[in-house]
Amino acid sequence: MADYIRVSELNRLARQVLEQCEPLANLVLLGEISNFTRHYKSGHCYFTLKDENAAVKTVLFRDKARLLGFAPQDGMQVLAWGRATLYERDGAFQFYAEYLRPFGAGAAQMAFDALKRKLEAEGLFDAARKRPLPPAPKCIGIVTSKTGAALQDVRNVIGRRWPLATLLLAPVSVQGMEAEASIVAGIRALDADPRPELILVTRGGGSREDLWVFNSERIARAAAACRKPLVSAVGHEIDYTILDYVADLRAPTPSAAAELCVPDIAAVRRSLQDIQGKLQKSIQSCLNVWYNNASGAEKALDRCRPTAALAARRQALEAARDAVQSAAAARLQSAEARLQGAAAVAATLDPYAVLGRGYALVTDRAGKQLPVEGLAPGQRIIVQGRRAWAQCTVETTGKGDARP
């Protein structure tokens, strides 16, 4: 009787043979999803990939399923990266998927719309979440391929428009199976770095499949959780990704993003020159106003100064003094004239003046003037001339002009 083997050994041998077949160990399988089921406890996904002629059971384990950027659905065409082998217990030929991506316009659009509805319902696209970009960033973080044309475009534009900014690169893969995790890590690394003031996630143009990684839910949630303003610039103007809706600002191209992230230094210079000119005019106008006000105040102060008041009063006093002196001189002159007149009149009445013409004055010894008509013989009298006098005794008297 021939040797025999057990069923488990057969399945083990079959699995080993399949796993040693290099084409089955690393392949990309194209097929349509059917009978998709996500196990509610384990989180593993079980479904069938089929085409018009055949089908294969497929498994996507939980840790891989969580990395999908879309929700697989029945009828969706996908590309599945993974390996084919045998499930020993059931002897079932199976495909173990590592990564899925929608294939074809219909499938891709279906996955895109489903994720967009989900994230929009969660509020990740709300305008209230959008943050303004810093007006003149000193440092900009860039998440892109270090060898891609997008990086060179960004460098050229920012170097020309705003050379004051420093660029900090987080080099990532922008397509392929590792791109999703790489971009998420790049966003988180720059968000944790204190230097960048904003983050630019970008890549150049490509096919829809090339850009599909930016429709990843993980990348969208990493962008939504970013504490710094984030700009998305993926592909060309007609290309829209889920990241564009989550980002604080979407730019149509990498070059356009660079222009939106920084100001134009030439325009800033012109603006500063305009401001400088306006300030100079304003300052000159203020100086003119202040000068006129100061001149008026100085004149008012001059009118209020004690020296000016004293000078005015001194002039008034001098004028009053001159007037008094003129009036006194006039009065003195008038008095002198009146005095001279009175003196002339008095001179005519002065008895001594008469004596000067040869007449004499008869008085008693006391100096009392005696009229000649009152003299009596024997009376002693004094005869006073102008320069001499004589004491006499009246011998006889008579009336009229008859003399003895």
385-394 pLDDT, tens digit each: 877 888 888 8
Would you list the domain boundaries of the chain?
7-120, 130-263, 267-324, 353-393
Give percent of the chain above pLDDT 70.
94
H or E segment to which residue 145 belongs: none
Q: Which pLDDT score is estimated for 404? A: 65
| CB distance 263 to 137 below 8 Å | no
Q: Which pLDDT score is estimated for 136? A: 95
Fold of 130-263: Rossmann fold (3.40.50)
The torsion region of residue 267 among left (phi > 0), alpha (psi -120 to 50) and beta comes to alpha
300-339 pLDDT, tens digit each: 776 666 676 777 788 888 888 888 888 888 888 888 888 8
Ordered DSSP codes for 284-339: HHHHHHHHHHHHHHHHHHHHH-HHHHHHHHHHHHHHHHHHHHHHHHHHHHHHHHHH
Q: Which pLDDT score is estimated for 351? A: 64
Q: Which pLDDT score is estimated for 170? A: 97
Q: Which pLDDT score is estimated for 291? A: 86
Dist. CA 136–CA 255, nearest whole Å: 17
> Beta 27-38 vs 45-50: how paired, if at all?
antiparallel
Query: What is the rounded average pLDDT for all residues in the chain?
Result: 88
List CB contacts of 351: < 8 A, sequence separation 6 or more.
Answer: 361
Q: Which CATH architecture has domain 7-120?
A: Beta Barrel (2.40)
| CB distance 81 to 97 below 8 Å | yes
> Beta 166-171 vs 198-203: how paired, if at all?
unpaired
28-84 pLDDT, tens digit each: 999 999 999 998 888 999 999 999 899 999 999 998 888 776 788 888 889 999 999
Largest CA distance in the chain: 237
Question: Out of 85-89, 191-195, 346-350, which region has the weakest mean confidence (pLDDT)?
Answer: 346-350
Residue 104, Cβ density class (10 Å: 0-12 exposed, 13-18 middle, ≥19 buried): middle
Q: Which pLDDT score is estimated for 355? A: 67
